[in-house]
Structure 1
Amino acid sequence: MAVCAAPLSVNCWSFIVTVALIRETWSGTVLSSPVLRGTMVNCCGLLSSQKEPVPLKSIEVELEVKDHVATVVSTLLYENKEDKPLEAVFVFPLPGDAAVCHFSAKIGQTQIVAEVKEKKEAREDYDDALSSGQQAFLLEESEQSPDIFSMSVGRLPPGESASIRLEYVTELAVQADDGLRFCLPAVLNPRYQPQGSEGASVQVTSVPASLVPYSLSFSARLSSPRPISKVESSCSLDPLQYLNTDQTQATIKLAAGHKFDRDVELLIYYKDAHQPTAVVEAGQASAKPGSLMGDPVVMLSLYPEFPQSVMSSVASCGEFVFLLDRSGSMQMSSANQQTRISSARDTLLLLLKSLPMGCYFNIYSFGSSYEHIFSQSVEYNQKTMEEALKKVEEMQANMGGTEILKPLQHIYRQSCIPSQPRQLFVFTDGEVGNTKEVIDLVKKNSGSHRCFSFGIGEGASSALINGLAKEGGGHAQFITGTDRMQPKVMQSLRFALQPAVVDISVTWDLPKGVSVTVLSPPITALFQGQRSLVYGQLTGEVGAAPCHVVFLSSGM
C-alpha cells in the first residue's frame, strides 16, 4: 500500500528520536542542573525533607497530539509558605514509555534548564549548590518503575514561588473502538516493595489529589492527516473547536470547575482509522544538516484490517492462563465507587464465559503468596467452567502484598501443552516496585507464550501494564470502570485466539536522492486491529515530493 507523507511544521518527532536514544543509555547518564538520575521513591505528592505533604498551587497542562503521538507540557507552580527555607521533593507519574525532552525551573528571576552530565558529576554539582546556599533542582527517574519521576527542589526561600516546566512525548494506545487514549493521572499509586528488596520496610503513602488544593488548567490541540471525528472524556469538556474546513486540526479543553479528583482521560477518534498514514517533521533549522536533529523524520502508522481470507485461519485452541492480583490495594475504589477487585473479577468472568470449548485453562491469584484453582491446566468444558466461575466470584483482595514475580516463575516452569499455544492474561493495579525485573522475566519467556495485560483502576502503572504486553507480544488494556470494559476484554481475547502475522518487511519507495534510516525496532508481529509505528530519518533533498511506502507481510 502506498502512503503520501504530508510535511508538518513542528519538530515533535525529532524530540522523540533524540530522547529515546538518550534513555537507552541512561544507566550512566543524567540530566543535571536540574538533574535526571535513577533512584527509588517511596512517597507520592509534594513532600518536605521530613516527608510532610506540601500542596501545589496550580497545574497547567498543554497537550498536543499529532496523529498517534502526544507532546505534553506541564507547568507546576508552588510556594513555600513556611518562615524558613524548604527543601522539597515532588513525585509525579508519567507514561512508562514517555521520553522527557525538556525540563526547566524558575524561582523569581532565576531560570534553570536541564543539561546532560555524568551521574557522579551531576550529584556533586547538586550537593555543591545546596551547600553554597544556591537554588538547585533534581529530577529523578525510578530505576525499578520508569513511570515514576521525582523532582527535588533544593532550597526554596520562605515566601518564594517556584514554577516547574516539564515536557515529554509519548505514543497513544489504540482502544478496541479505534479511539486513541490519553490519560493524565490524578494521583500516583504507591508501589509495593517485594519482600527482601531494598526499601521494603519503608512505609509507602500517597497523597490523593482530592485532598490537595490543586487548580488544573488543561487544553489540547489535535492534528492528523485524517479528519478528527470526535473526542470523548470521563470529565466534562468544552465543545470541540475545528481550526480548518477539512477538520484535520482542532482544539479542546476541560470545562470550567473541574476538580482534579480523578484521572483525566481523553479518547480521540479519527475517520478512516485503519488507513495507513505517514507524517513528516522537518529538521531543526539551527541544527547541522545530516545530524540527528537536522534531518527530517517520518512516522509511518500501520493499523491493519486483514482480509477475511486471512482471518478465516483464526485459531480456536490454546492454553489460557489467568493471573489475578488479590493484594490489599485491589480493595481500593475507583471514581465510580467500584472496587478494583470487583472490576478484575468482572473482567475475568467475562473472559471465562467467552473461551472456546476444547481449549485448556487455569487461574492463578496472588498477593504475598499465590494459589491456583487447578494443579495444572485443564480442558475447558461446562463442568470446569462452572467450577472456575464459582471460585472467581468468591475471590477477595485479601492476600497482602503484590508478589507477582513468584507466580510468574511458577507458571513458566509448567510445560506447555502441545498444539495449544499458551496465552497469559495478567490483571493488576500495577503497584509493584520491581517492575523491570517482572518485565524482564516475561521477555525471557516470550518465545513460549503471549502476554495480555489489564491495568485495573485509575493510576495503574503504565510501565508495568504496557511493558508486560510489549515484551510478551500481546496487548495491554486499562479498565477504569464498567465503561467500555466488554469491548476491551473481547478485543484482547480476539488477539489471543488469532495467530500473529510474522515475517514482516517494510519497503521504502523514495524520490531519487532520498534515503531513509529506520530508527525504530523492526516489527516482529501484527494482530488484526493492532497499531504499529515505524520511525525513519530521511537524508537528501526531501522537498515537497511525497514519500511512497510499501508495507509487506507474510506468514501466520
Structure 2
Amino acid sequence: MTNCCGLVTKEKLPVPLKSISVEVQVKGHVATVTSTLQYVNEEERPLEALFVFPLPADAAVCHFSAKIGEHEIVAELKEKQTARDQYDDAVSSGQQAFLLEESEESSDVFKLSVGCLSPGQNAAISITYITELSVQADHALRFCLPAVLNPRYTPAGSAAGIVSEISSVCDSVPYTLTLSVHVSSPKPISKLESNCTLDPLVFLDSHHTHATVNLSSGHKFDKDVELFVYYENTHQPTAIVEAGVTAAQPGSLMSDPVVMISLYPEFPEEVMSSLTTQGEFVFVIDRSGSMDCMMHHGEGAQMRIESAKETLLLLLKSLPMGCYFNIYGFGSRYESFFPQSVVYNQDTMDQALKRVSEMRADMGGTEILQPLKHIYSQPCYPEHPRQLFVFTDGEVGNTKEVLDLVRNHSSSHRCFSFGIGEGASSALITGLAREGCGHAQFITGTDRMQPKAMQSLRFALQPVVNKISVQWKVPDGITVDTLSPPINVIFQGQRSLVYAQIKGQSSESSEGSVMIQYNLKDQPVTNQLHFCLKPAEDTGLMIHRLAARSLIGRLEQEERAGGAEVESVRSRMVKLSVEAGVNSVHTAFIAINKHNRETVKGPLIQRRIPTQGLYLRGSQLPVFGYACVSKCRERAIVSDGIDEELDTQMLESLQCDSRLKCSLTDLPPVQTKSSGVKKSIKVKSLFRRNSKQKSMSSVQTNVHSKQEAAPEPQKDSFLQLVSLQKASGCWEMNSALAQVFGKTEDELTNQKPAQVDGSVWATLLALIWLYGYKMEHQVEWQFVAMKAASWIRSQNVGGLSQCVCDGNVLLGCHVTQETLGI
C-alpha cells in the first residue's frame, strides 16, 4: 500500500520530514511567515515525498526554494500544467525537482512534492507567505499556524483532488517545530499571548514598538499554534503606502505604489443601544461524526456536539419575541426542526429545546451544500432579514462550490460562521462570512463556543449598514484604483482592509485621503482618514502581494461564474500571479536542481508525510474523513495497487478505536481501483454478504464500539438558570429556580415583597444573581438579561428599589437597580 496517503510502510521505515522551523515577522496587521522543512532520505533507494499541509485562507505564497547541500534552488512560478509537466519530466529523467501547488478545491490546502532525493541526502525546503491578521472580540490580532489538517469530506460524485490526499496518523507527528516571532508596529505593543507555551516577551526598544518571542522548546506540533498580538489604540485607522518595483512593466500593479487602509468605523452609542427585534435566524449545526470529538485535550473538555447544544440553548433564549427562527442539522443528509422558519414564542421555543436536547453527532459525513441550497430556496419574510449561523468542523472538499452558492444569495441574507476545533478549514469559515457579509469565529483550544456565538448574535442584531461607498481624494495628476472587493458589511468596531493602486505623479500636496460613507438607521455617516502618499520604507512588497492575492481571488470568482470571457480571465490571473510572484489556483512553484550533474538511478520510493489526522488502529487503511476516530462513518479510499478481494478482507477485519460510537455499516461507498477500473463497494453490503455465517450483532462486536462509562457531568447552575427562562424574558417561581440559588422555594416565597407577584420577584432575583455571581460570563447572558429587564419594565411595578434591596439580602449580593437596567 505504498500509494496510500499518509501511511508509513509495514516495515515502519522513517518519514523523511524531520523538522519544521518557522519565522514570523508581524508588521501592524500583516504577518510574513517563512517555514523551513528539513527532509532527509534515510532509505537505501531514491525517494519521492508528498507533504499535504494547511496554510491560512487567502495567504499569498510568494517564495519557494530548496537547499541541497551548498546549493540553493529558487523556484519559479509558472502556469500549473507547465510546472507539473516539468516536474514529471525531471523526476522521470532522474533529476531532483520540487513542486508546490494550491488545491483546486480549497485555497487553504497545499501539496509539496519532493522528487528524487538520493539515499542519505538532505533537503531544506523554504516556503514564505504573507497573510492578514484577523481581529478578535477583545481587539487582539490573531495569527494561526495550522498544524492539524483534517481530511476533507468529499461528497459522492465529486472529483477527488489534493484535499483528498490527506495524511493520517493516530499519534503525534514525527517531526519537531521551532517558531520565532518578531513584532513591529507604529503603535506600542501591549502584550502577546498564545495557546502554546512561549518564552518571555522581549522588547527591543523603549517605546515597546518592537518585540520578539519564541515558542518554548519541546512543543509537540499536535495542534494549531495561535498567537494574539495586542496593540495600544488598536481602533485608530491606519494607512501604509508601499513603493512599486522600478523594473516591473510600466502600468502594472507591481510598478505603481499600493496603499493598504485599515478602517474602524465607530457607531454612536445611542444607535448601538437600540438592537433590532426583527429577523429570521437560521442555525445550521454540523452533526457529522467528528462532532463527537472533544473540544480540546485539556481537563474538563466537552464533546463538540454538547458545546453546540449549550450554545443553541443560549441563542434560543436570547432571541427577541416575534422574530422567526429554524434549526438545521446536517451531515451526509440534513433535517430541519420545522418545515420552514416559525415565529419565536413560548411554544415554538419549547419544541426546539426538546429537539436540541435529543441532538446527536449521528449524521455521517459533512455535506453542507445541500442544506444551504434548501435554506436559500425558502422564501424570506418581509421586514425580517435572514441571518444564518453556521457551526461546523469546516472539513469539506467542495469549499469553492459552497462559497459560490453563498455569494449568489448574499443579497438576501447574512452568514455568521464558526469553525470548531483544530484543523477547521479557514478557507471555508472565513469564506462563508466574507461572501455572506457576516463575521467569522474560530473556537480552538480551551475557547468557549458560547461567548463567540453571542458576540455574533450582537452583530446580527445591530442596525443594518447600507449604501456603503469608498471615495478617494488625491492631488491632480494622481488616480486611485481600488483593488479590494466592495465593502458589503460594517459592524461596530470591526476592521475593513482596503487595497488600492496609486497611478500617476503630482507636484502638489503629498497627502491624500479616503472617505467611507454609509447609511445607519437611514442617517448618513462619514468616516475619513488622511494619509501621506510618500511610500513607507522596508515593507518587502507585502502590500503589493496581498493586493495581488485579493485581486486574484476576484478573478477566480469571475472564472467560476462562467461566460465567454473565461479564458481571458484565466490568462489575466496567470499573468498577475507570475508578475506578483504569488500563488493562484492556475500556477505552481517549480524548482529543478541543475547543479547536480549526476542523475538519480533506480526506482523511486513514494512516501506520504503525516499531518495530524485520523488513522484506524490495527489497519493500514486510511480513513479520509476527520481527525477523530468516530469519523469512520465517512468515506474511505483505497489507492491503486490493491486488488478488490484484498480490499474486502481488509474492510471486514477493521479494528476501530475504542472511542468509536458507530458501526461500520454506516460507511458511505468505499472507492477501490482494480485492474484499472474504479469500482464502488458499499461497506454495508460487505457485512450482509457474511450474514449467513454470522449475525450482524456479531459483526458489530468486531468493531470496538464500547466506551468507558463517563462520570455524570455536574449540572451548571448558570445553564440551569437560563434553561428556566421563558421566551418573554421572565422566570417563574418554582423549586428548580430556588435550587439554582441554593435556596428552597419557601425561602424565596417568604422573602417576596407584598407589592410584586411571583414572576416579577423570580425574574428580579435571576437578574441579581447573574450580575452578582456571573459577571465573568456577561457576554453570554447579555441578551437574556436585556429581555428580563425589558419584561420587568413592562409590568409597571412600584417599589422596585426596595425589591432590589430585599433580593440582594436574600442572595448575598450588592447589585444596584441602575446596574440591572430596570
Query: Quick check: TM above 0.5?
Result: yes
- Stretches of structure 1 that go unaligned for 5 or more consecutive residues are 1-41
Is residue 2:297 matched to residue 1:335?
yes
CA distances 1:273-330 after superposition (whole Å, capped 9, x unpaired): 2211112223346557754334332211012221124335532211111111111122
- Going from structure 1 to structure 2, the CA distance change for 1:234 and 1:208 (only over 3 Å counts) comes to farther
Task: Give the 3-state SS of the residue equivalent to 1:502 in structure 2.
Answer: strand
Task: Tell me the distance in 1 between the aligned counterparts of 2:357 and 2:92.
Answer: 58
Aligned partner of 1:447 in structure 2 is: 411
- State which of 225, 228, 241 in structure 2 corresponds to 1:267: 228
Name the amino acid aligned to 2:427: A
Cα offset for 1:533?
0.5
What's the CA shift string for 1:435-457, capped at 9, x where partnerless? 11111111111111111111010
Choose which of 518, 521, 526 in structure 2 pairs with 1:553. 518
Contact 2:38–2:125 under 8 Å retained in 1: yes
CA distance in 2, matches of 1:46, 1:546: 58
Quote the offset at 1:517 in angstroms.
2.7
Residue 393 of structure 1 deviates from its aligned partner by 2.8
- Shift >6 Å, 4+ stretches: 50-53, 541-544
- Give the stretch that moved more between structures: 530-539 or 406-415: 530-539
Report the structure, 1 or 2, having the larger strand content: 1
1:525 corresponding residue in structure 2: 489
For 1:554, the aligned partner's letter is N
261, 276, 281: which one aligns with 1:320? 281
- Aligned pair partner of 2:37 in 68, 71, 76: 76
1:112 matched to 2:77? The reply is no
> 2:215: which partner in 1?
254
In the alignment, structure 2 segments of 5+ residues that lack a partner are 522-822
Q: Which amino acid aligns with 2:311?
A: T
Identity %: 67
- 1:93·1:185 contact (CA, 8 Å) conserved in 2? yes
Structure 2 CA distance for partners of 1:490 and 1:44, relative to 1, 3 Å: farther
Instruction: Find the aligned partners of 1:246 and 1:83 in 2 and give their Cα distance.
Output: 56
Which residue number in structure 2 is paired with residue 418 of structure 1? 382
Aligned partner letter, 1:531: R
**If the length of structure 1 is used for normalisation, what is the TM-score?**
0.86
Residue correspondence of structure 1 range 165-180 to structure 2 within 5 A:
165-180=126-141
Give 1:38's aligned residue.
Answer: none
Q: Which amino acid is 1:239 matched to? A: P
- Rounded to whole Å, the distance in 1 between the matches of 2:63 and 2:264 is 30
Name 1:198's counterpart in structure 2: 159
Equivalent in the alignment of 1:129: 90
Partner of 2:400: 436
The one-letter code sitting in structure 2 at the alignment partner of 1:159 is G
Whether 1:478 aligns to 2:442 is yes
Deviates most, 543-552 or 412-421: 543-552
Tell me the CA shift for residue 234 of structure 1: 0.7
Task: Confirm or deny that 1:396 pairs with 2:349.
Answer: no
TM-superposed CA distance for 1:474, in Å, is 0.7
Q: Partner letter of residue 327 of structure 1?
A: S
Going from structure 1 to structure 2, the CA distance change for 1:178 and 1:405 (only over 3 Å counts) comes to: same
Change (3 A) 1:209 1:251: farther
**Distance in 2 between the 1:518 and 1:204 partners?**
38
Within a 5 Å distance, the mapping from 1:2-401 to structure 2 comes to 54=15, 56-199=17-160, 206-208=167-169, 210-284=171-245, 287=248, 291-312=252-273, 314-333=275-294, 334-336=296-298, 337-401=301-365
Post-superposition CA distance 1:503-547 (Å, at most 9, x none): 223333445655433221222221112210011233436999554
Cα contact 1:44–1:188 (8 A) shared by 2: no
CA RMSD across the alignment: 2.7
Instruction: Say which SS state the counterpart of residue 352 (structure 2) adopts.
Output: helix
Q: Structure 2 vs 1, CA of residues 542 and 518 (structure 1 numbering), >3 Å: closer, same or farther?
A: farther
> Which whole-Å CA distance do the structure 2 matches of 1:277 and 1:114 have between them?
34
Note the C-alpha offset of 1:251. Answer: 1.7
| Partner-residue secondary structure (3-state), 1:431 | coil
Please say which of residues 401-410 and 108-117 is displaced more in the overlay: 108-117
1:476, distance to aligned residue in structure 2 (A): 0.6
SS in 1 for 2:429: helix
Specify the alignment match of 2:818 in structure 1.
none
Kindly indicate whether the alpha-carbon contact (under 8 Å) linking 1:517 and 1:536 is maintained by their aligned counterparts in 2: yes
SS across alignment from 2:500: strand
Contact 1:43 1:205 (8 Å CA) reproduced: no
* Equivalent residue number for residue 533 of structure 2: none
3-state SS in 1 of match to 2:212:
strand
* Cα distance between partner residues in 1 of 2:227 and 2:373: 36
Contact 1:340 1:429 in 2 (8 A): no
CA distance in 2, matches of 1:508, 1:198: 45
Describe the shift of the 1:47–1:93 C-alpha distance in structure 2 as closer, same or farther (beyond 3 A): farther
- Secondary structure of 2:153's partner? coil
Alpha carbons 2:16, 2:41 under 8 Å: kept: no
Change (3 A) 1:206 1:135: closer
Question: Structure 1 residues 206, 345: closer, same or farther in 2, change over 3 A?
Answer: farther
Q: How does 1:455-494 map to 2 (within 5 A)?
A: 455-483=419-447, 485-494=449-458
Following TM superposition, by how much is the alpha carbon of 1:46 offset from its aligned partner in structure 2, in angstroms? 8.8
Look up the SS of the partner of 2:465 in the other structure.
coil
Change (3 A) 1:159 1:146: same
Note the C-alpha offset of 1:238: 1.8
Shift in CA distance, 553/315, structure 1 to aligned 2, threshold 3 Å:
same
Task: Please give the per-residue CA displacement for 1:351-379, whole angstroms capped at 9, x wherever unaligned.
Answer: 22221222111111011111111222112
Whole-angstrom CA distance in 2 between matches of 1:362 and 1:380: 9
**Larger radius of gyration, structure 1 or 2?**
2
Distance 2:74 2:402 in 1: 34
- Separation (CA, whole Å) in 1 of partners of 2:508 and 2:133: 29
Determine the C-alpha separation between the residues in 1 that align with 2:321 and 2:423: 36
User: For the residues of structure 2 that align with 1:501 and 1:283, how far apart are their CA atoms?
Assistant: 35
- The structure with more helix, counted as a fraction of residues: 2
